[in-house]
Amino acid sequence: MGVLTTRQVVKRFAGLVAVDHVDLEVQEGEVRGIVGPNGAGKTTLFNLISGFYPVTSGRIEFLGKDITTTSAHRRAGLGIGRTFQATQLFSEMTVLENVATGRHTSTRNGAWAAVLRSRAFRRSLQRDRELAEEIIDFVGLRGTGSLLASSLPYGQQRLVEIARAIVNQPQLLLLDEPAAGMNLHEIEALNELIRKINETRINGTRVTILVVEHNMRVIMNISHRISVLDFGEKIAEGPPKEIQQNERVIAAYLGSTTGGNASLGSSTGLAAAGGSSGGGRAGA
Amino acid sequence: MRPRFTYGGELFLWRWLRLTMANRYVISPFAIITMLAALLLPLLLDPFGFLILFLDNILVFVLLTLGLQLILGYAGILNLGHAAFFGLGAYTSAILTKTLGVPFPLAFLASTLMGLLGGLLMCPIIRLRDVYFAMASFAFGIVAYVVFSEWRELTNGHIGIRAIPPARLAGIDFTSSLNFYYLVLPCVIVLYLVFRLLLISPFGTSLNAIRQSELAARSVGMHLAAIKVKTILIGAAAAGAAGSLITHLQGFVSPELFNWPQSITLVTMMVIGGIGSFPGAIIGTFAIQFMSEYLRFLVEYKMLIYGGVLVFFMIFLPKGIAGVVRALVVAALERRSAR
Amino acid sequence: MLLGQIVYGLVIGSIYSLIAIGFSMVFQAIGLLNFAHQEFMMLGGLIGYTLAVTLNLPAPLVVLLAGLGAGCIAVAIEKVGISPIRHRGGAEINLIIATIGWGIILSNAAMLTWDAYPLGYPQRFQGKPLNLGGISIVPQNLVILGAGILLMILLQLFFKRTWTGQSMRAAAEDSPTAALMGIDTDRTVSWTFFISGALGGIAGVFVSSIFYASFEMGLIGLRCFAAAVLGGFGNIVGAMFGGLILGIIETLGATYISSAYKDVIAYGIVIVILLIRPTGIFAARRTGLT
Ligand SMILES: Nc1ncnc2c1ncn2[C@@H]1O[C@H](COP(=O)(O)OP(=O)(O)O)[C@@H](O)[C@H]1O
Ligand SMILES: [Mg+2]
């Protein structure tokens, strides 16, 4: 079954078309890589899928239901988790508290329950903490629960964000450049983590993941299929091997680099091209 | 389940305080001591003296600043028109009890509801972000003030409404300052407890979350607008109740008490006491009220000093008195844990 | 009658404009709601009074020196009590409260210096009413209107033609980038406060010559906040028109509706504008919404 379908989705910002008639069809349990030069509209696409921006036109379906006009907080409740390109943590909260907020849509939230502090209410809070602890271990941050989130090294902060996004067991997870700011060692672990999340079964179905990433080693490694965006348009789609050889993709990347000497045969070459943010498309 | 500071072998009181600060317990031992002291305090005071009347007045303001702290300190909404809700409550109670002879408990409830209604009126501007909201709420307060002062048929204009009957509840007359003290203090204590309970609940977590990162809050499914609206409604209702109390404490209402400088003063109390702390709101209310009362000997230099204190705090103590105390307590807790 | 009202509205409006521009400039430069701004106008009015009465200086010099004085005080306040807070990463609310503190300090210091009584300007500031095609106009009003408009034109030239003006615009637009390009952003902020204070001070002389000078007159200036919003907060040309429009609406509203409700009109407009068009009525639609 298609977990996520976008049909002719368009997002326009005052004259600029950031996402241009994009069709996506992502299957259950798939890891879908989204690549493209800077300013191609990848983050905007994530914002549309998670409901942070309303679409200009087009249609978005999640698990067969039309969610085009569903608000962001409802989509989170339906099972769409996400992280951000620039880390967004609650800086005055501990790691544990950060991750526990991910349970928001499943916790008893009523004001009365809070004031009366019924047993069921306290038990549900307790359960949130236990789950959060579990997930903290799962992403490899064991023992950091009581630390202030903002006191962790950057690479680990990214993991906290992922932990917060998965603690409520979303069916669809959107990761926006998760490897940015991580060292090689951490990237290796991230690869493993994404695979582990993907293999987790929730009510018998596997977690579907969309990843935006400039690091081609990561993307080629973990993606089942890759979609390529350029100037808001989807210019190619297919398994990693095909994408590596696709001429339009190579042209798009070449066009975006000032150096233009990237060796496109190797996956690291694409990484160098896409990662050199200095000469991004937006500036051209 | 690890709290924010973990160390073994600590004093029971320290542990209690620490867990309260980590929002795991409802109130700290100090809050309980303060409440008990507040209950007993009038025994030490002259029941007909000025001080107890002054305290009554401050406690009414505490109801206002606690509500505003929820809005401004916790939800991070820059509300510069809070006095409008106060005024709505005050005029409601004044008109109901004086003109229509409604008994005080009913008028008190009606005032609370009117405050809430005022909150609803403010809701359309909740869409505006920070400074824009500040401007709009400031304008909101001025519009409310003009209505209070110009809708003469209802409010008697600038002269205001006088000879308002005192509060009566279950056969007890709250005319005396002492009696009134025991009317308003329970209100303050209940409100404080309810707010603390809210704060350590998921609702409180949402408030903290929204203030720290709106994006992240949305991503975990928090409904920003709904949470902000609820905050404003709760704060506005508390202000409405405070309005009713001030009416019956003073025996009269006039619009000046609800003009924009009042809203600004409330924010000032918050900032001096400490943004994002309920004890801070209380401390700030006392500090400002005492300052404006007991700096009188400075005569014409009083306001000059007052302005100077504000600027001094903003430059050197931007987290307010509560911020200083908090830093000291955290340092002490950490020193203990280091041993 | 109506025409006379409109002219008078324009005169008042041009004064509002001068004050609103200063409000807007500071907001544009550092995102600050400056609640001390109206006190620069008050200071201008009182300094002008001293210059005109005690020193018996000619009117143009009074205007100039009062503006200079208010501008210098504005910079002093910025240096001592605004920028230090910004440099420590102070929150918005802290900055607002600091400006409120400064407002209180200024008006009370003024009361101690000039006393609490209203101070009228000498007769020579008013002149005899003229009769222009059936409308009776005080020449002073025409001078104010002309001077106000001249100042606004000069300001535009300053922003377009001078290096300081251009760097101020660049810094207001995007401070980090401007700093990278070698613009001293601390200096542009000081310049912003100077001009904002000076315009306020000059407006103060104008207001005082029509009414009187007093430590409390800042309250009039507060309404310019509405003019600034009307024109799109942070938009200088907008603030100019915002002031003029507010002046006319207010004068006509006071005559034909009720003067008591003129604040409701002004601030009602503020709320509506913020809601439907937060960048004011003159700007291309950007957004103040979340
Ligand atoms: N909120 C916004 N307002 C206006 N333009 C935007 C906004 N968000 C993104 N854009 C523009 O849309 C384009 C796509 O941006 P983005 O989705 O962030 O690209 P990517 O994530 O692929 O690097 C860019 O040109 C960017 O400037
Ligand atoms: Mg991006």
pLDDT of A70 above 50 = yes
Domain membership flag for residue C63: yes
Q: Determine the pLDDT at residue B231.
A: 93
**Which among A104, A108, A145 has CB closest to B222?**
A104
Residue B303: CB atoms within 10 Å: 18
Instruction: Report pLDDT digits (tens) over C237-268.
Output: 888 888 998 888 888 877 777 767 777 777 88
Does the beta carbon of C77 lie under 8 angstroms from any beta carbon of chain B? Answer: no
The chains found to touch B (3+ Cβ pairs under 8 angstroms) are: A, C
Q: Which domain holds residue C115?
A: 2-122+140-276
Q: Give the Å distance between the CA of B9 and the centre of ligand 2.
A: 49
Compute the radius of gyration of chain A from its Cα atoms.
19
Which residue owns the Cα nearest ligand 1 atom 7?
A13
The percent of residues above 70 in pLDDT, for chain C, comes to: 93
pLDDT digits (tens, 9 = 90+) for B163-175: 788 877 777 777 7
Half-sphere exposure (CA, 13 Å, Cβ side) for B199? 25
- Chain A: closest CA distance from residue B171 (Å): 30
Q: Among residues A1, A3, A28, A2, which one has the least CA distance to residue A201?
A: A28
Residues of A in contact with B19 (CB under 8 A): none
The model's pLDDT over B80-132, given as tens digits with 9 standing for 90+, comes to 899 999 999 999 999 999 888 888 889 999 999 999 999 999 988 888 877 88
Burial level of C211, CB count in 10 A (0-12/13-18/19+)?
middle
Q: Which stretches of chain C are DSSP H helices?
A: 2-30, 37-49, 59-77, 83-87, 92-114, 139-161, 163-173, 175-180, 185-210, 218-222, 224-230, 236-256, 262-276
Interface test with C, best of B211, B262, B314, B321 (most C CBs within 10 A): B314
Q: Which residues of B touch A101 (CB under 8 A)?
A: 205, 209, 216-217, 220, 222
Encoded tokens for C224: 């310019």
Residue nearest to atom 6 of ligand 1 (CA): A13
| Nearest one of C75, C279, C57 to C197, comparing CA atoms | C75
Higher per-residue pLDDT: B161 or C192: C192
Does residue C242 lie within any of the structural domains? yes
Ligand 1 pocket, CB under 6 A = A 13, 16, 18, 36, 38-44, 282
Which positions in chain C touch B128 (Cβ < 8 Å)?
274-275, 278, 288-290
Choose among B3, C280, C58, C188: nearest CA to A96: B3
Which tokens belong to C177?
């980038």
Of B202, B217, B218, the CB nearest to A114: B202
Q: Does position B6 have pLDDT exceeding 50, yes or no?
A: no
Reduced to 3 states (helix: H, G, I; strand: E, B; else coil), residue B128 is: strand
ipTM: 0.86
Q: Which residues pair with A225 in a beta bridge?
A: A32
Nearest ligand atom owner, CA of A38: 1
Alpha-carbon distance B38 to nearest alpha carbon in chain C (angstroms): 30
Q: How far apart are CA A73 and CA A68, in angstroms?
A: 13
- Say if CB C13 and CB C224 are below 8 A apart: no
Bridge partner list, A172? A80, A208
Calpha distance C56→C122 (Å, rounded): 9
- CA dist B131 and B76 (Å) reads 11
Closest atom of ligand 1 relative to the A44 alpha carbon: 17
The CATH homologous superfamily to which domain A1-79+170-284 belongs is P-loop containing nucleotide triphosphate hydrolases (3.40.50.300)
Q: How confident is residue C278, by pLDDT bands cut at 50, 70 and 90? A: low
CA atoms of A73 and C237, how far apart (whole Å): 40
Chain C: give the shortest CA distance to residue B263, in Å: 12
Q: Above 70 in pLDDT, residue A281? A: no
Nearest CA to ligand 1 atom 18: A43
- Most ligand 1 atoms within 8 A of CB, residue of A13, A50, A176, A228 to mutate: A13
Within a domain: B6 = no
* CATH number of the domain to which C65 belongs: 1.10.3470
Read out DSSP for A105-133?
A: GGS---HHHHHHT-HHHHHHHHHHHHHHH
User: 3-class DSSP state for residue A170?
Assistant: coil
Of C92, C109, C271, Cβ closest to residue B130: C92
Q: Do B271 and C111 touch (CB under 8 A)?
A: no
Q: What is the mean pLDDT of chain B?
A: 85
Q: Any idea what the Cα angle at residue A196 is, between residues A49 and A1, rounded to 5°?
A: 45
Query: Where in chain A are the domains?
Result: 1-79+170-284, 91-168
Give the distance, in angstroms, between the CA of residue B103 and the centroid of all CA atoms in the same chain: 25
Give me A197's structure tokens. 């999340």
Query: C253: which chain B residues are within 8 Å (Cβ-Cβ)?
Result: none
The two three-digit tokens of residue C2, written as one number: 């109506």
pLDDT at C146: 86
The DSSP secondary-structure symbol of A152 reads S
Distance between CA atoms of residues B172 and A277, nearest Å = 75
Mean pLDDT confidence for B271-282? 89
Q: Indicate the SS3 state at residue B105.
A: helix
Q: Looking at the predicted structure, is the pLDDT value of residue B199 above 60? A: yes
Predicted pLDDT of residue A257: 46
> Which amino acid belongs to residue C10?
L
Take residue A1 and report the two structure tokens written for it.
Answer: 């079954």
What is the domain extent for residue B109? 11-337
In a domain, B1, yes or no: no
Number of domains in chain C: 1
- Asked if C264 and B147 come within 8 Å (Cβ–Cβ), the reply is yes
Q: SS3 for B172? A: strand
CATH number, position B282: 1.10.3470
Query: How much is the pTM?
Result: 0.83
Confidence of residue C287 (pLDDT cuts 50, 70, 90): very low
Q: How far is CA B156 from CA B160, B182, B233, in A?
A: 5, 31, 28
| Spatial contact of A22 and A229, defined as CB atoms under 8 Å apart | yes
A–B: how many Cβ contacts below 8 A?
A: 105
For residues B228 and B210, is the Cβ–Cβ distance under 8 A? yes
Q: Is B131 on the interface with C (CB under 8 A)?
A: yes
Q: Distance between CA A95 and CA B2 in Å, rounded?
A: 10
User: What's the pLDDT at C180?
Assistant: 81
Strand (E) or helix (H) holding C10: helix C2-30
Ligand located closest to A41 CA: 1
CA nearest to B144, candidates A107, C125, C261, A67: C261
Residue in A closest to B205 by C-alpha: A101
Question: From CA B36, how far away is CA C81, in angstroms rounded?
Answer: 41
C-beta atoms of A115 and B221 within 8 A: no
Residue B3 in any domain: the answer is no
The residues in C 231-250 lying below 8 A from B, measured between CB atoms, are: 233
Percent of chain A past pLDDT 70, that is, above it, reads 86
Question: pLDDT per residue over B133-181, tens digit each?
Answer: 888 898 899 889 988 988 878 888 788 888 788 877 777 777 778 788 8
Q: Which chains touch C (3 or more CB pairs under 8 A)?
A: B
What is the CB-side half-sphere exposure of residue A85 using CA atoms within 13 A? 12
Q: Count the alpha carbons within 13 Å of C220 in the hemisphere toward its beta carbon.
A: 29
Interface check for B128 against chain C (CB to CB < 8 A): the answer is: yes
Residues of B in contact with C235 (CB under 8 A): none
> Taking CB atoms and an 8 Å limit, are C97 and B147 in contact across chains?
no
Q: What is the pLDDT of residues A185-206, one digit of tens each?
A: 999 999 999 999 998 887 778 8
Residue of A nearest to B226 (CA): A73
Structural domains counted in chain B: 1
Polymer length in residues for chain C: 290
- Give C98-117 pLDDT, tens digit per residue: 999 999 999 999 999 998 88
Is C88 part of any domain? Answer: yes
* Distance separating alpha carbons of residues B122 and B148, to the nearest angstrom: 17
* Per-residue pLDDT tens digits for A216-271: 888 998 999 999 999 999 999 999 988 888 888 888 776 654 433 343 433 444 44
H or E stretch covering A60: strand A57-62
Type of residue at B103: P
CA A38 to centroid of ligand 2, rounded, Å: 7
